[in-house]
Copies of this chain bind each other. A is one copy, B any other.
Amino acid sequence: MAHVPAAERRPQLIQAAIDLMAREGIAAGSTRAIAAELGVAQATVHYTFGTKKDLYRAVVEQLTAEFIGQVRASAPAEGPFGEQVRTMVHALWDSAVGEDGKCALITEFSAMALRDPDLQETMRALQHEIEDTAAALLTGLAAAHGLTLPVPAGEVAVYFLAGFNGLSDRYLVLKAAGEDPEPESRRALDLLVATTVGLCLGAPARS
């Protein structure tokens, strides 16, 4: 293997780790397998990152950045407020299920963080970053339409993202089991969009 400065090795290893783990799962992400994926010696991983946990942290951060990027990229569109939201959400959904390996990987890291203190802070930051991004996007969109949100944008974001995550987790589990949960998921997603828009437009739900 040619000599490559560590500053280049780092992203290479992170990418190799993501490729491998998105394909075969977090459990397949041993330092040996990751090194093999890139074609370097196992010890290179330890030289570059010190500890496996540090690699994992870097991987999660990279995945976060990509996800946030995709949320932002789904932004534009024109038309009425509701239509715009709907378009964005479906774009986000498409990109999520289109890269379901990465999606599954995030879920796996999330589960791992429930027990591993070394990942918890990273996952916490990821969660808030995503929610803040969504809230900001929503606030901007509302402002562009001259709307005043009757519910704090942050609360709507938490509500929406929880639903979105729940739906995508459900999609992944059922798809892994050989079902095609797409039509059903799409309908539930539309319900989620409809209720979210309803919250923004101030249709107060009765009790």
Q: Mark A161-179, 1 if CB is under 8 A from B, else 0.
A: 1111111011011101111
Secondary structure at chain A's binding surface: helix, strand, loop or mixed?
helix
Min Cβ gap A166→B in Å is: 3
* Cα separation A203 to B169 with both chains bound (whole Å): 27
Instruction: Say whether A115 faces chain B, with CB atoms less than 8 Å apart.
Output: yes
Size of the A side of the interface (Cβ < 8 Å), in residues, is: 62
Residues of B within 8 A of A174 (CB): 124, 127
Of the candidates B120, B159, B203, which one forms a contact with A206 in the assembled complex, judged by CB atoms under 8 Å apart? B203
Instruction: Assess the A206–B198 pair: CB atoms within 8 A.
Output: yes
Residues of B within 8 A of A162 (CB): 163, 166-167, 169-170, 188, 192
Give the top 3 A-B pairs by smallest Cβ distance, nearest first.
A162-B166, A166-B166, A82-B207
Residues of A within 8 A of B (CB): 24-28, 80, 82-83, 86, 104, 107-108, 110-115, 120-121, 123-124, 127, 151, 155-156, 158-159, 161-167, 169-170, 172-174, 176-179, 184-185, 187-188, 191-195, 197-199, 201, 203-207
Return 19 A-B CB contacts under 8 Å, by A number: A24-B115, A28-B115, A82-B207, A110-B169, A111-B112, A120-B177, A155-B187, A158-B167, A162-B167, A162-B188, A163-B192, A164-B166, A165-B166, A194-B205, A195-B198, A197-B207, A198-B198, A198-B203, A203-B205
